[in-house]
Amino acid sequence: MTAVEANKFQRRQTSRIESTERRAGDIIGWSKENSPLVLTWLGDSSAAVRVFVIAGQHGDEVQGRQAAARLIASYGQGVRGVQAAVLTNANPDGALRNTRMNTDGIDLNRDHQSLRSVEMQFIHRFVRQWRPHVIVDVHNYPSRRRHLVERGLVAHHDVLVDVPTHPAIKLALSEEQRDEFLTTIREELKSEGYESERYVLVSPAGRVRHSTTDVVDARNGLALRYGALTVLLEGRAPIRKEGAVAAERTIVAQHLALNSILKLAGQFGETLIGNSGSIGRESEIVPVRCCYRLAENALALKFRDVKTSDVREVVFPEFRGRLKVTRQIALPAAYAVPLANRELIELLKLHGFAHHIANSQEAVRIERYFIESVTAAPCDGQTPKRISLKTNQSLAPLDGYAIFPITQTGGRALAVFLEPKSNYGLHRYGELNLPLLADSFYPILRVLAG
């Protein structure tokens, strides 16, 4: 969608909002079983900063949905210059059955790249049309993990927060500003008596790292595709025997965090609005593979002791808190996808990437990969560990190809999706028919300018 179209959409939304007494009830799509995905508009519809709150991707996470509903009921203390759209229930079918997945067994928060679910197709379409500057993804995390309970520990933090981690994502806020963003949320929670931490995962072996770098979740997926600042907001899911008081504590903490994010969105408004939306430039370097490395310092985390219920600090020496890029590529002018690969083109269309069909016989400079050898991925959804490529440049006509220029919103995402050496490539999905086969040409071409 062009800027002009986006403005038109914006005006249409605005007039629709003004013409209704109450701002509730825009339907942006339907679940597999035809439950509406209902959006509620909050704040001044002429405000410059747009924030999209999405709760309930996982149908069994109750408190997050309730916190989003509470934001609708009491919105806006200290919030300036922000309008919000709140989707309290992104997975109504899962919520009805109290299951994490949707009706088809799809984990919606692992579906932001492959868009297999109708729910995600509708939600992405809304994001593309409304173009929020900030997207808050609301979840609940389990307070008891078996391997931690075995060490006598249960989760103590009321809220965990995080921002995008994939290194190809370019955001309006600098790393320092993102840290400030997270720190301010956490300080505000603390001043009200709630504990929080940046989102970390503790493995059974005691290794700790931040959230995944994969682009299948809302946090990385939507930030990479649309350049929005995404914020993951995980509230502690109490266990049943903790009762209503503990559940209420989580809801209040998540509501507080939501309000704090909205306030910050207003404060960072000018910077957020200035974002170019991850538009690519030819020759620009895009990371397509990375890993977490050991940080210099150990990480201390607070836990509640299973037996005594006291809160104590546990030090994890193996804190993988440092992200290291291990492979990067230079962007071509465009990627050319054979029209014969219909499944792949359909998916890129679902993602809303602009493209055109080459219709001239004129030869252009292209680069083609030859796959010399490849260690097959262990299973669908995974990337081969090793792949050896040779490239050769030539002049060739592009009839029979769909051309996806990288000078568009999310242009950098095209490299992450389409490069054969990407650890996050669409070749991971068997149904897209993009296998990496030894002794063959990779079907997607890099189109070089001039």
Q: Which of 65, 139, 166, 255 binds Zn ion (CB under 5 A)?
A: 139
Looking at the Cβ atoms of 50 and 139, the one nearer to Zn ion is 139
Q: Tell me the closest approach of the beta carbon of residue 365 to Zn ion, in angstroms.
A: 46
Q: Tell me the closest approach of the beta carbon of residue 232 to Zn ion, in angstroms.
A: 9
Measured CA distances, 67 to 64, 76, 407 (Å)? 5, 14, 38
Looking at the Cβ atoms of 56 and 227, the one nearer to Zn ion is 56
Q: Tell me the closest approach of the beta carbon of residue 139 to Zn ion, in angstroms.
A: 3
- Contact between 236 and Zn ion per CB under 5 A: no
d(CA 446, CA 403): 10
Q: Tell me the closest approach of the beta carbon of residue 138 to Zn ion, in angstroms.
A: 8
Q: Which stretch binds Zn ion (CB under 5 A): 16-24, 131-139, 265-273, 345-353?
A: 131-139
**Which tokens go with 253?**
């903490």
Q: 71: closest CA among 92, 55, 58, 59?
A: 55
Looking at the Cβ atoms of 101 and 172, the one nearer to Zn ion is 101
Looking at the Cβ atoms of 139 and 427, the one nearer to Zn ion is 139
Q: Tell me the closest approach of the beta carbon of residue 237 to Zn ion, in angstroms.
A: 9
- Contact between 58 and Zn ion per CB under 5 A: yes
Number of residues that bind Zn ion (CB under 5 A): 3
**Which tokens go with 48?**
């410059």
Q: Tell me the closest approach of the beta carbon of residue 61 to Zn ion, in angstroms.
A: 5
Q: 371: closest CA among 394, 393, 392, 388?
A: 388
Looking at the Cβ atoms of 138 and 337, the one nearer to Zn ion is 138
Q: 49: closest CA among 234, 221, 256, 261?
A: 261
Q: Tell me the closest approach of the beta carbon of residue 177 to Zn ion, in angstroms.
A: 26
Strands (E), 147-228: 153-155, 159-162, 196-198, 200-202, 208-210
Q: Which stretch binds Zn ion (CB under 5 A): 66-74, 121-129, 136-144, 208-216?
A: 136-144
d(CA 221, CA 213): 10
Looking at the Cβ atoms of 61 and 111, the one nearer to Zn ion is 61
Pairing of strands 208-210, 200-202: antiparallel
3-state secondary structure (DSSP) of residue 257: helix
Q: Tell me the closest approach of the beta carbon of residue 140 to Zn ion, in angstroms.
A: 6
Burial class of residue 146, CB neighbours in 10 A (0-12, 13-18, 19+): exposed
At how many degrees (to 10) do helices 218-226 and 411-418 cross?
120
377-386: list long-range contacts, CB under 8 Å, 24+ apart. Answer: 377/428, 380/428, 380/429, 380/430, 381/428, 381/429, 382/428, 383/422, 383/423, 383/424, 383/425, 383/427, 383/428, 384/436
Looking at the Cβ atoms of 114 and 409, the one nearer to Zn ion is 114
Give the helix/strand (H/E) hosting 147.
Answer: helix 146-149
Looking at the Cβ atoms of 195 and 217, the one nearer to Zn ion is 217
Measured CA distances, 133 to 128, 228, 301, 356 (Å)? 11, 5, 31, 28
Q: Tell me the closest approach of the beta carbon of residue 17 to Zn ion, in angstroms.
A: 30
Q: Which stretch binds Zn ion (CB under 5 A): 56-64, 130-138, 173-181, 221-229?
A: 56-64
Q: Which stretch binds Zn ion (CB under 5 A): 54-62, 116-124, 165-173, 365-373?
A: 54-62
d(CA 419, CA 442): 9
**Which tokens go with 185?**
């949320």
Q: Tell me the closest approach of the beta carbon of residue 60 to Zn ion, in angstroms.
A: 8
Q: Which stretch binds Zn ion (CB under 5 A): 7-15, 137-145, 273-281, 399-407?
A: 137-145
Looking at the Cβ atoms of 250 and 275, the one nearer to Zn ion is 250
Looking at the Cβ atoms of 58 and 210, the one nearer to Zn ion is 58
A 10 A CB-CB count for 109 gives 21
- Contact between 110 and Zn ion per CB under 5 A: no
Q: Tell me the closest approach of the beta carbon of residue 117 to Zn ion, in angstroms.
A: 15
Phi (first) and psi of residue 239, to 5 degrees: -85, 160
Residue nearest to Zn ion (CB): 139
Looking at the Cβ atoms of 52 and 369, the one nearer to Zn ion is 52
d(CA 178, CA 268): 10
- String of contacts with Zn ion for each residue 60-99, x by CB under 5 A: -x--------------------------------------
Please, what is the end-to-end C-alpha distance for the chain in angstroms? Answer: 26
Looking at the Cβ atoms of 47 and 257, the one nearer to Zn ion is 257
Q: Tell me the closest approach of the beta carbon of residue 82 to Zn ion, in angstroms.
A: 25
| Binding residues vs Zn ion (CB under 5 A) | 58, 61, 139
